[in-house]
Structure 1
Amino acid sequence: MPTSVRVRYILVAAIATAGPLWGSIAQPTATLGAVAVAVAEPSRPSDMPAPTPRLASVDNFRDVAGPDAGYPTASGTHMRRGVIYRSSALRPDVTDAQVLDGLQLTHDYDLRTTAEIADSPDIVPPGTTYVHLNIIGDQNPIPTMADLSPDSARQLLIDQNKVFVDDAGERERFGELLRSLATNPDPQVFHCTSGKDRTGWTAAVLQTLAGVSPDDVMNDYLLTNEYSRQSIDAGAEAATQAYGAEAGAGTRVILGVFPEALQAGLDQVRARYGTMERYVAEGLGLDPATIAALKKKLTV
């Protein structure tokens, strides 16, 4: 398996600052748009969820369905908003904690490694079940910031997206996540540290399975660069100050996203499985009934 890209998670943890929080830290209970703003939409039907708010302390939190009415699909439906959210690590301040509590999330799927969680445990909303699914595992060496260059950072992210398709253990854990998302009817959130690689891949799988256009899938993936701009800038500056311009440039790459990284995973799906649905069925192990339930949950 290629060298892990977990350097980016350590960088984010090092620069993150946490405000006042809910009272309790997560304990595992299982082993297993354009930017939306918190304002009313005049044309929004009364039964449509309100726009997903921006969270200052959880910068990459957003709805997998996208903004407004949800991304359109090839079948003429839209992605259903307000049921599946994606995020960076859940470390909210008091204001954002109240917002998350109001979403009535039933499950928080933490896709991070053991070390990442030890550095920055989730603060879980009251009544939300915490589930740890360690997608990439704890066995891989971590490159140092001092050795990071733009080229090596790009290759790390490209390789990791391929591994999401090729590695049997990672496919198994992604399968657990998708089965849980399909079978739990109420709002849920999944996340890693930055909310962009393990989380970004999961979102792309769900959106593609729902029939969202490739352009919308890619554009949604790239929104990390807007949502997390301040974190990316701060991490790159910290690396530059500590290790020089080359490391700073590499850190900027590793903390952001770029089209070739996601495309590498999508191309690997096409090469190995032909379609995303076959990847989900044969690679992730979801049966037809579960896939149908997931599609029903994702679209309206």
Structure 2
Amino acid sequence: MSRHGSTFACALVVSGAALLSGVGGALAQAEPSNPPAVTALLDAGSAGLGSSAPAADAPRLASIDNFRDVAGTGAGYAAGWTHVNKGVFYRANAIVPNEADMATLAGLKLSTVYDLRTDDEVAQKQDVLPSGVTYKRIPILSGNINAMLGKIKSPDDARKMMQDMNRSFATGDVEKAKFRELLTDLATTDGGQVFHCTAGKDRTGWASAVLLSIAGVSNQTIMDDYLLTNEYAKDSIAKNTEGLKRAFGDAYVNFLPLVTVEQSFLQAGLDQVATTYGSMDKYLTEGLGLSPATIGKLKAKLVG
């Protein structure tokens, strides 16, 4: 691997990567980028919900293409007999808005932004926030990325790397401490809050999946929401795919799974939760060390 190629791939992986939606033809085992269930979420709002007087959907932001409401669209994701509240928690990629998107963000009256990126990621692209928004860093990542990249010789190697990353969200000491900090802050801070990494897919995707689980959203909807990254960020995906081609030539296909989301990535983390703790509830209390009171505050914000 050339120095340029290594630097480019490292930036993609450490940042949570860019996002791909149309790589099924290039990778023999790649999953469809837009499964029917995902299309239904996009076309009809949140699955299984009525349409009576829904709150406004999160705005689509051209310069922050993976910005969205954790609650979904329409009336909010179904959670038992209720639905997830909109306008409470947002997820995103790096927040570097153009002028129009800055005005839109300001209109949301956000209170706090949590940046889950590493020092190197932040140095490459610092957040630019509306006036009055509190900024807090909670960097989530461990391990030697360059060493892991050196082991990638095929798309399946890259997939395993992404699966292992999600497993670390369930069992890694560093990761657990940081997710505990994030969830505690989300529970105890007032106002609309945003959490993000660089691409808004891995660290951000895990945090969103945990929140939706606390809310009581179905496993299928949680997975469908995770896969929506491939649709929301398809422009970034295309741009970064070209970057991989320039960096690696024909070998770029080996690295494509690093810059997308596939069902097996999140599922690996969820399966690890089941194996290690037995349930998501025990992951929250035993793995992350969250108190019942903190979990209760999160649930009240999500579905109260």
* TM-score interval for Structure 1 and Structure 2 normalised by the shorter chain: 0.7 to 0.9
Contact 1:164 1:170 in 2 (8 A): yes
1:88-113, Cα deviation, whole Å (9 max, x unpaired) = 00011001111111111111000000
The alpha-carbon distance between structure 1 residues 145 and 107, as it changes in their structure 2 partners (threshold 3 A), is: farther
Distance 1:11 1:264 in 2: 16
State the match for 1:85 in structure 2: 90
Aligned to 1:258: 262
Q: Which residue of 1 aligns with 2:272?
A: 268
Match of 1:291 among 288, 292, 295: 295
Which residue does the alignment assign to 1:191?
196
- Does 1 or 2 have the higher relative contact order (CA < 8 Å, sep 6+)? 2
Q: What is the CA–CA distance in structure 2 between the aligned matches of 1:148 and 1:60, rounded to whole Å?
A: 29
Report matched runs for 1:31-110 at 5 Å.
33-34=41-42, 45=53, 48-74=54-80, 76-110=81-115
Q: How does 1:110-129 map to 2 (within 5 A)?
A: 110-129=115-134
Match for 2:251 among 246, 269, 276?
A: 246
Deviations 1:199-252 (A, max 9, x none): 0000000101111001100000000110111111221122113321222x2343
Q: Which amino acid aligns with 2:61?
A: L
Structure 1 residue 6, shift from structure 2 partner: 5.7
Instruction: Assess if the C-alpha contact under 8 Å between 2:113 and 2:133 holds in 1.
Output: yes
Are residues 125 and 145 of structure 1, via their aligned partners in 2, closer, same or farther at CA, if it must alter by over 3 Å? farther
Q: Distance in 1 between matches of 2:56 and 2:111?
A: 18
**One-letter code of the match for 2:75?**
A
Structure 1 spans left out of the alignment, 5+ residues: 14-32, 38-42
Distance 2:295 2:158 in 1: 34
Identity of aligned residues (%): 46
- Match for 1:172 among 166, 172, 177? 177
Task: Please give the per-residue CA displacement for 1:119-177, whole angstroms capped at 9, x wherever unaligned.
Answer: 1011122111100001114x623355996642222111100000001111210110010
Distance across 2 between alignment mates of 1:144 and 1:73: 39
- 2:79 partner amino acid: T
Task: For 1:179 and 1:36, locate their aligned partners in 2 and report how far apart those are by CA, in whole Å.
Answer: 33
Distance 2:292 2:60 in 1: 36
Q: Please, which moves more after superposition, 158-167 or 49-58?
A: 49-58
Distance in 1 separating the partners of 2:236 and 2:162: 18
**Whole-Å separation in 2 of the counterparts to 1:11 and 1:51:** 25
Match of 1:229 in 2: 234
| One-letter amino acid of the structure 2 residue matched with residue 54 of structure 1 | R
Distance 1:132 1:36 in 2: 35
Give the aligned partner of residue 161 of structure 2. 156
Matched ranges for 1:131-146 at <5 A: 131-137=136-142, 140-142=144-146
- Uncovered stretches (5+) of structure 2, i.e. residues with no partner: 1-8, 19-40, 46-50
Match of 2:23 in 1: none
> Would the aligned equivalents of 1:86 and 1:203 in 2 still touch at CA under 8 Å?
yes
Could you tell me how far apart the structure 2 residues matched to 1:86 and 1:5 are?
Answer: 23
Higher percent of residues as helix: 2
Amino acid at match of 1:120: K
The amino acid of 1:296's aligned partner reads A
Q: What is the CA–CA distance in structure 2 between the aligned matches of 1:183 and 1:35, rounded to whole Å?
A: 34
Q: What TM-score results when the alignment is normalised by the length of structure 2? A: 0.82
Aligned letter for 2:261? V
Question: Are residues 1:207 and 2:212 paired?
Answer: yes
- Does the Cα contact within 8 Å between 1:145 and 1:251 map onto a contact in 2? no
Calculate the TM-score normalised by the size of structure 1: 0.83
- Counterparts of 1:5 and 1:144, CA distance in 2: 7
CA distance in 1: counterparts of 2:268 and 2:151, whole angstroms? 26
